[in-house]
Amino acid sequence: MPIKRTLSDRITDGINLLLLLVLSFVMVFPFYYITAVSFSSYQEYMNTELLLFPKNWVLDAYRFIFDSKEFIRSIGVTVYITVVGSIVSLLLTSTMAFALTRRLWGQRFYLFLVLFTFIFGAGMIPTYLIVKATGLIDSYWSLIIPDAISSFNLIVMRQFFMSIPEELNEAAVIDGANDWQIYTRIILPLSKPALAAFGLFYAVGQWNTYFNAILYLNDPAKWTVQVILRQIVILDDAANTLASAAREAARSAHLPPPETIGMAAIILATIPILIVYPFLQKHFAKGVMLGSVKG
Amino acid sequence: MATTSVEASKTVIERKKAPAKSLATRLFRERYGFLLLLPGLLYFIWFRYVPMLGNIIAFEDYSPFKGFLHSDWVGLKHFKRIFEDAEVIRVLWNTLWLSFLQIAFAFPVPIVLALMLNEVKNQRIKRIIQSVVYLPHFLSWVVVVGIVTIFLKTEGIVNKGLDFAFGMEAIPFLQQPGWFMPLIVLEVIWKEAGWGTIIFLAALAGVNPTLYEAAIVDGANRWRQLWHITLPAIRGTIIILLILRLGSVLDSGFTQIFLMLNPFTMDVGNVLDTFVYFKGIQQSDFSFGTAVGLFKGLVGLVLILAANKIAKKFGEDGVF
């Protein structure tokens, strides 16, 4: 049935769309501004009242960051943790999620153990003490193991595995396959898109890790990119070597000011997310919806 | 057909008759399943449940040298401190006030945004706007707080803009206690509002379009359709999410607050999560920090169970 649109309908739609566009602008503008200023020169940043578009684009801030060991090292650390952490998380989550779809002895109890963590967590200090007792302090594994499984992802993945037709499992069982073979030969190959999506979720989580890094890593040489980023952008204090060195250098040699360096650092720390975002976006809505179905 | 079902029920009865023999055989038969379960199960026991037991140090004067088996048992001493210490009371108050602001201002935004997106008829424009509003969810809090810091510094673009347009003196947003909570709520809205729409949009996609056609025939305008069809369609989802939100009134999001806090805003901005960190980890007052954390967790547990029960009383589904 064709719905006739009245004038007031059109006005409502117009205002609605306008508001949404304003909102989208609010979401995008910070990125634009930070990118633009990160490419501006020292003089221009200092002398322009409202810098929205640099006249000459320079790479000083980026050059400075790539020359500094700390930032590059933190990127290396974070890449390592992201890759290893995502693989470990995927392995642990998918094996357990699959096992929870099998009618194992005590299955309801294991499921309860997982679901209970949704409403009650152990708390920061006992968890910290266990991580310490495990001997993970100052080890990169402290960023990977203690949060290796997200209960939410686990439940969503289990839900996904249960949507795979039971007949396939039955046929495999008749052919003499055990659970391990079903997992490796049927479930994993059929779940590649889901595994990719969860892998990306875990990877974004690892890339953004901040809290665990300050909690478990005392050695500044091991800090992740988010910790270094906080030092540069948010603290910007004298105790922070990179920013204060930048300030000194800027004063003496007209090098890039710490402000543009901070912006360049934000851009560099965000680029990996922007790269995987289109892939993420394809999968996440479905993933989130699966999770809302009760297990 | 009839014979097979009789046979099937026979085997069920036989299985029930012989449980003693079956457990060992059954565990052996399922050994590969258990092999797959084991790593995850060990993870949950060691990193989620052993720490829950570790909460007993809240009832001790825990000393790392004595270990938690040999530290002195002090009963409820640390819990009494929670209610006698003026600092904790203030921190508790900050936490509740922030939660109230979040529920009042941040919670409704995804609902309104989803309703607005739902009215966009052009699918391509709708998808583009969605991609844009989802994006901030994937940024780290360090990046979000970093952007806010850059924008709101005394020499940042906001102050420059205010000076440019109105000739105003620079406002030290990040140091003024009065701006702390509004900024926290605005950051949450900026980062999570778009992401929060997903679940409401899905609920809205499930509405039967014939309902709208019938309403139009009955002469309902757009606002009446919104009121009588669209809103009732997402009422259940709103209530479930509100229950979950109520269960976490004492959770303030450690990272965001921690990153926003500075000596000027400590009085108004310190919340239970950050307090536990400062006390427990930085000052090594493990038992007191644990007591505050446990108190927080238990209140959350009670709240979520109560809210769920109330929702069920009012004829809604509830979460469990």
What is the pLDDT, as a whole number, of residue A290?
Answer: 54
What is the pLDDT, as a whole number, of residue A289?
Answer: 54
Place of tokens 């152990």: A122
Cβ distance A210 to B255 less than 8 Å, yes or no, reads yes
What is the pLDDT, as a whole number, of residue B87?
Answer: 92
Q: What is the dihedral of CA A207, A208, A209, A210, to 10 degrees?
A: 140
**pLDDT tens string A116-138:** 998 899 999 999 999 999 999 99
For B20-62, give the DSSP string: HHHHHHHHHHTHHHHHHHHHHHHHHIIIIIHHHHHGGGGGEE-
Nearest to A163 by CA among A253, A289, A55, A275: A289
Place of tokens 């002469």: B219
Cβ distance A125 to B280 less than 8 Å, yes or no, reads yes
A150 and B CB contact within 8 Å: no
Q: How far, in Å, CA of B141 to CA of A209, rounded?
A: 9
Contact by Cβ (8 Å): B201, B223: no
Q: Which of B49, B113, B122, B143 is the best substitution to test chain A (most A C-beta atoms within 10 A)?
A: B143
Contact by Cβ (8 Å): A44, A51: yes
Rounded (10°) angle between helices A151-162 and A192-207? 170
What is the pLDDT, as a whole number, of residue B1?
Answer: 40
B3 min Cα distance to partner chain A (Å): 22
Mean pLDDT of A2-29: 87
Question: Quick one: DSSP state of residue B103?
Answer: I
What is the pLDDT, as a whole number, of residue B2?
Answer: 45
**pLDDT tens string A204-257:** 999 999 999 999 999 988 999 999 999 888 886 534 556 556 656 555 555 677
What are the start-end ranges of the H helices in A100-165? Answer: 107-119, 124-133, 141-144, 151-162
What is the pLDDT, as a whole number, of residue B3?
Answer: 45
For A199-246, give the DSSP string: HHHHHHHHHT--HHHHHH---GGG--HHHHHIIIIII--TT-HHHHHH
Cα dist from B255 to B99, B151, B252, B282, whole Å: 16, 19, 9, 15
Q: How far, in Å, CA of B156 to CA of B175, rounded?
A: 14
Q: How far, in Å, CA of A153 to CA of A82, rounded?
A: 17
| H/E run at residue B73 | strand B72-73
Residues 178-237 of A with CB under 8 A from B: 178-181, 183, 204, 207-208, 210-211, 215, 226-227, 229-230, 233-234, 236
Place of tokens 């005392």: A218
Phi, psi dihedrals of residue A102, rounded to the nearest 5°: -80, 150
Higher pLDDT, B42 or A176: B42
A174 and B CB contact within 8 Å: no
Q: Which residues pair with B72 in a beta bridge?
A: B61
Interface size between A and B, measured as CB pairs under 8 A: 250
Closest partner residue to B141 (CB to CB) among A26, A123, A210 is A210
Place of tokens 């976006």: A281
**pLDDT tens string B43-75:** 999 999 999 999 999 999 888 888 778 888 888
Assigned token pair, A6? 């009245």
A70 min Cα distance to partner chain B (Å): 17
What is the pLDDT, as a whole number, of residue A166?
Answer: 85
Which residue ranges of chain B lie beneath pLDDT 50?
1-4, 6, 10, 12-14
CA atoms in the 13 A half-sphere facing the CB of B254: 16
Number of H helices, E strands in chain B: 19, 2
